[in-house]
Amino acid sequence: MRFERNSLSAILAVACLFPLLVSDQYILHLAIMVLFYAVLATSLNLIVGYVGEFSLGHTAFLGIGAYAAALLSLHLGLPIYLTIPLAGLIAAVFGYLIGLVTLKLEGPYFVIVTLAFAEVLRLIANNWIGFTNGPMGLAGVSQPAILSNATPLATKQVYYAIGLLVAAFALYLAYRFVHSNAGRAAVAVRESRYVAQSIGVSPFGAAMLAFILSAGLAGLAGGFYAHYISFVGPDVFQFAFMASMIIMVLMGGKGTLLGPLAGALIVTLLEEYLREVQLLRLTIFGLIVMAVVLFLPRGLLGSLARRRETYSGTTSTKPAGGAA
């Protein structure tokens, strides 16, 4: 708990200093994508790593967030500091509705039904031309007002700051959840539904809280993405995002807060630098993933970042020990 808190604080400090040291647009773009994927991977990890169900439809919430932010911005003219939070809230509401159906299921059934929801949403985005503009997508999502006369570099710097804010907020919520009683209940459900019920945990309720939180975080990421790319099309529901998220969570180490961050960093950079080998890119990518799953089944940080709770580690904590 303390280890994770200290590591996260250190990462946050480095992330804050980063734009002061780097003034290359391309590197900043990569850093922004790392932040975006860090939020997505953290979000997916809440379900895969803590509740222990495998969601293949997480792009549903990413897409809902992206479309929500784009539509709110285009039709209502809302500024970015309202659209991104609203995107998160709307995705969370959808998380609740989809959770009502999917969380009654377990194992492969859960996987299939979540996948189906994402696919249904993709079809809606593609075909409801009046609302989503279909395959043409929604272009020209508004930019923050202060960027009206900004240089391309300043634009990247501002988006980096916004991305960092969103990521820090997402990690704060995830950290609080994971180390709360509700988070322990979710882990109990992951470990054994029988034990969870016999200690008074409602598996459905515990999983639902994690699911709503996870959907909300994915929605925030989607809202951020909509503004940054300034275009949202049905592609946001595509499986490629899902694949990246899964790889990040598994490679980094599910069930830890640091693992998905490491995964987001590594996978984003790999995806970028493997562009040079063109067609071989996905093949090499696949091989790396297979190697990680075979040789490091708990992920790169699985054993390192999974610090166990100990009693001795907490007795010295003063009552204010819960502060971040």
Chain contacts with another protein (rule: CB under 8 A): 173, 176-177, 180-182, 184-185, 187-188, 191-192, 194-203, 209, 255, 308-312, 314-315, 317, 319-322
Structure tokens at 165: 């804010």
Residues sharing a CB contact under 8 Å with residue 25, sequence separation 6 or more, in sequence order: 152, 153, 156
CA–CA distance, 143 with 123 (Å, rounded to integer): 28
With respect to another protein, which residue has the nearer C-beta, 6 or 197? 197
CA–CA distance, 229 with 114 (Å, rounded to integer): 26
Structure tokens at 267: 């996978």
- Identify whether the C-beta of residue 301 lies closer than 8 Å to the C-beta of residue 256: yes
With respect to another protein, which residue has the nearer C-beta, 56 or 187? 187
In terms of Cα–Cα distance, which of 262, 241, 189 is closest to 42?
A: 262
With respect to another protein, which residue has the nearer C-beta, 129 or 195? 195
Minimum distance of another protein from residue 13's CB (angstroms)? 22
The dihedral sign for the CA sequence 254, 116, 268, 212:
negative
Rounded to 10 degrees, the C-alpha dihedral 116/118/121/125 comes to: -130
With respect to another protein, which residue has the nearer C-beta, 216 or 233? 216
With respect to another protein, which residue has the nearer C-beta, 88 or 203? 203
What single-letter amino acid sits at 189?
Answer: V
Minimum distance of another protein from residue 212's CB (angstroms)? 10
Q: Collapsing DSSP states into helix, strand and coil, what is residue 58?
A: coil
Minimum distance of another protein from residue 320's CB (angstroms)? 6
In terms of Cα–Cα distance, which of 297, 307, 17, 5 is closest to 174?
A: 5
Minimum distance of another protein from residue 103's CB (angstroms)? 15
Query: What size, in residues, is the chain?
Result: 324
- Identify whether the C-beta of residue 244 lies closer than 8 Å to the C-beta of residue 271: yes
With respect to another protein, which residue has the nearer C-beta, 53 or 235? 53
Q: Collapsing DSSP states into helix, strand and coil, what is residue 147?
A: helix
With respect to another protein, which residue has the nearer C-beta, 74 or 201? 201
Minimum distance of another protein from residue 182's CB (angstroms)? 5
Minimum distance of another protein from residue 45's CB (angstroms)? 15
- CA distances from residue 146 to 55, 77, 154, 227 in whole angstroms, order as listed: 38, 15, 10, 14
Minimum distance of another protein from residue 189's CB (angstroms)? 10
